[in-house]
Amino acid sequence: MRKQIIVGNWKMFKTNEQGVQFIKNVEAKLKANPNMIVGVAAPTVMLSDLTKVAKNIKIAAQNCYFEKEGAFTGETSIPMLQAINVNYVVIGHSERRDIFGECDQMINSKVKALVAANFTPILCCGESLEIYEAKKTMAHVAEQLTQDLAGVTAEQMSQVVIAYEPIWAIGTGKVATPEIAQEICQGIRQHIAKLYNQAVANEVLIQYGGSVKPENIKDILSQPDIDGALVGGASLIEDSYLGLVQ
Ligand code: PGA
């Protein structure tokens, strides 16, 4: 049986002090569940301190670069993250793609470097409102995944988490209905079966993201092909985060 995975994406919110306090407070109330992975993807500056106070919460980075070191001003390498015990990284979030111009080729290099280092990439995919309205979501998402996963072996796929996030549902309050989210997540699983095989597809964890809240997470997680959620806004407040993961 697949585990569930719920990860908060703090984006560019909170100071280091606020982040540390949040993790301490939530850890004190969190009941560990062996069938659920819970995490927080935090800004780079606080990752080191957060890993020191986190027990059950996995601390994830929101981005990284694929080269080990070098003249890459402003970037964070995988060995740097490894040295502070971070081994989950959100890759290819739509904000990275749209605001910072990350292309599928770059995302693919990052995913390959992460799995080679035994990290778990949380690989984001999803369509714009225009693509959604043109009913081309599945073709778009399949193409993203084909490119982003090129060269990743079937064996390495056991480390990869896929997050389906329709861009029109992110931070907008417009959540995809559980049925729409299920349809696309099922399509993603079928596409993974085509790229690899049915066994890999059956194992891969697929999250939905986009305006997930404590009030709607149950319906979303009850869908057969949705194994978790990547949550922005609703992961920033302690009670709300606890409401998502418990
Ligand atoms: P949201 O963000 O939950 O605030 O819609 C989701 C995300 O961007 O991962």
DSSP 82-134: HHTT--EEEES-HHHHHHS---HHHHHHHHHHHHHTT-EEEEEE---HHHHHT
Confirm whether residue 11 is marked as ligand binding.
yes
**Residue 207 CA, ligand 1 centroid: distance in Å:** 12
Indicate if 165 belongs to the active site.
yes
Catalytic residue among 95, 102, 127, 165: 165
Q: How confident is the model at residue 29 (pLDDT cuts 50, 70, 90)?
A: very high
Percentage above 90 pLDDT, the chain:
96
Indicate if 95 belongs to the active site.
no
Pick 159 or 172 by higher pLDDT. 159
Supply the pLDDT for residue 175: 78
Which range is least confidently modeled, 156-160, 173-177, 222-226?
173-177
Q: What's the predicted TM-score (pTM) here?
A: 0.97
Query: For a pocket test of ligand 1, which of 63, 212, 213, 244 has the largest count of ligand atoms closer than 8 A to its C-beta?
Result: 212
Radius of gyration (C-alpha) of the chain in whole angstroms: 17
Supply the pLDDT for residue 172: 85
Q: Is the pLDDT of residue 21 over 90?
A: yes
Q: Is the pLDDT of residue 13 over 90?
A: yes
Condensed to tens digits (0 to 9), the pLDDT of residues 96-110 reads 999 999 999 999 999
The full set of domains in the chain, from first to last, is 4-245 (3.20.20.70)
Q: Are 58 and 88 within 8 A, CB to CB?
A: yes
Q: What integer is the mean pLDDT of 230-243?
A: 98
Atom number of ligand 1 nearest to Cα 211: 5
Condensed to tens digits (0 to 9), the pLDDT of residues 123-146 reads 999 999 999 999 999 999 999 999
Alpha-carbon span 150 to 109, nearest angstrom: 9
